[in-house]
Structure 1
Amino acid sequence: MDLSILRPSSGSTHPRKRVGRGPGSGHGKTSTRGHKGQKARSKIHKWFEGGQMPLVRRVPKRGFKSRFKQKDLIINIDDLNIFNREKIITPEILRASGLVKGRGKIKVLGRGRLSRPLRVKAHHFSKQAQEKIEEAKGEIEII
C-alpha cells in the first residue's frame, strides 16, 4: 500500500462554505443569516447567553474594593546587605537609598541571607526575616 493514494472516505469531508460572495455562489446577500434579527447582526458578544438572564446579573453583588487601601512596601533581607552595621535602618533611610518607593508601611521578607548584624526598624516582619536577622545577631524593632 502506498501512502500517496490515501484519501478521506466519501462524505467525511465537506467543501468550505464561502458566504457573501455574490448571488451566483448561492450564499450571497444575507450570507446564510436570514433576514434581520439579533443573530443577523455583525457579532454576538461572548457573554451573551441566548437571551436568558446572564450569570453576572443572576449572582448577587457582594462587597467592594476600598479606594484607600494601602499595600505594604516590600523589601527582602538580601537587600539590607548594602548597609553598615553601625546604622539603624529606618523606613526613612530605606526610602533615601531608593530600596523602597512610596509612602506605605514597610514589610521585611526573608529572601536571601544577611551577612552582618543590623538593627532594623519596620512596620512588619515575616517570621523567616525575623529569624534570619536574629540569627545574624541583629535586632528588629516593630514601629
Structure 2
Amino acid sequence: MRLNDIKDNPGARKGRLRIGRGIGSGVGKTGGRGGKGQTARTGVAIGGFEGGQMPLHRRLPKRGFNKWNRKDWNEINVGALQKAVDEGKLKAGQSVDVTALVDAGILRRPKDGLRLLGSGEITAKLSLTVNHATATAKAAVEKAGGSVSVIEKKILEADEAKRKKSAAKKGGTTKKQAAAEE
C-alpha cells in the first residue's frame, strides 16, 4: 500500500445538496421551500411566531433569576464524616479537605469546594478545611475535639475599592473616612 492508494470507502463522503439547479435535480424551481408565502422568502426567522397571536413566551410572566457564575459546592454532613471514619475510609486526627474526601471515595469530584453541614453526630477528632461551614457543624466538630478552618474568599483590590465607594455613597462612611482607610 502506498500513500497514493489511500482513499475513502465508497459512500463515506456525501456531496453537498445543490438546490435550485433545474427540474432533474429534484430540488429545482422552489428549491424545497414550497410555493410562495413568507417562508419561501429569504430572511425569515419565525422562532416563536404564532400567526400574530401573542406568543406563549410573552404570555407567561417572567420569574426567577439564574446566576450565571454560581458556584457548585460539594455538601457533606458531619454524620457522613463520622460514618466514613467508622468504615475506615478516614482516620481520626487526620486533616480532611476536598481532595482527601475524593481520594477516600466519599465524594465523586472536587467541584468548586466543600460546604460542611451540621446534620448527624460526630465523635471523631478531625481537622477540617472547608469553603463554608454552618454554625451547628462547626460547634459539633469543635465539641468532638476537632477543628474547622474556613478558606477565606480572595477579594480583589478593585472589588474592595468598589465596596468602599458604595459604602461612602450610602452614608456608611464619609468620603474623608474612606480616604483615611485607604
Match of 1:134 in 2: 142
Asked if the contact 1:109–1:125 (Cα under 8 Å) also holds between the matched residues in 2, the reply is yes
**CA deviations over 1:24-78 (Å, ceiling 9, x no partner):** xxxxxxxxxxxxxxxxxxxxxxxxxxx8635640467577645543311111101
**2:93 aligned to 86, 96, 99, which one?**
86
Match of 1:98 in 2: 105
CA positional deviation for 1:121? 0.7
Q: 105-114 or 54-63, which moves further after superposition?
A: 54-63
CA positional deviation for 1:126? 1.2
Distance in 1, matches of 2:113 and 2:73, equals 5
Distance in 1, matches of 2:138 and 2:81, equals 13
Match of 2:72 in 1: 71
SS of aligned partner of 1:70 = coil
Distance in 2, matches of 1:95 and 1:141, equals 19
Question: Could you tell me the percent identity over the aligned residues?
Answer: 29
Distance in 2, matches of 1:70 and 1:101, equals 17
Q: 59-68 or 124-133, which moves further after superposition?
A: 59-68
SS of aligned partner of 1:107 = strand
Say which structure, 1 or 2, has more relative contact order (CA 8 Å, 6+ apart): 1
Gapped regions of structure 2 (runs ≥ 5): 1-51, 152-182
Asked if the contact 1:108–1:126 (Cα under 8 Å) also holds between the matched residues in 2, the reply is yes
Asked if the contact 2:93–2:125 (Cα under 8 Å) also holds between the matched residues in 1, the reply is no
Distance 1:63 1:90, change over 3 A: same
Flag the structure with higher helix content.
2
Distance 1:62 1:76, change over 3 A: closer
SS of aligned partner of 2:91 = coil
Asked if the contact 1:91–1:106 (Cα under 8 Å) also holds between the matched residues in 2, the reply is yes
Give the aligned residue type for 2:120.
G
Distance in 1, matches of 2:55 and 2:70, equals 31
Match of 1:116 in 2: 124
* Structure 2 counterparts to residues 15-30 of structure 1, below 5 A: none
Distance in 2, matches of 1:91 and 1:71, equals 13
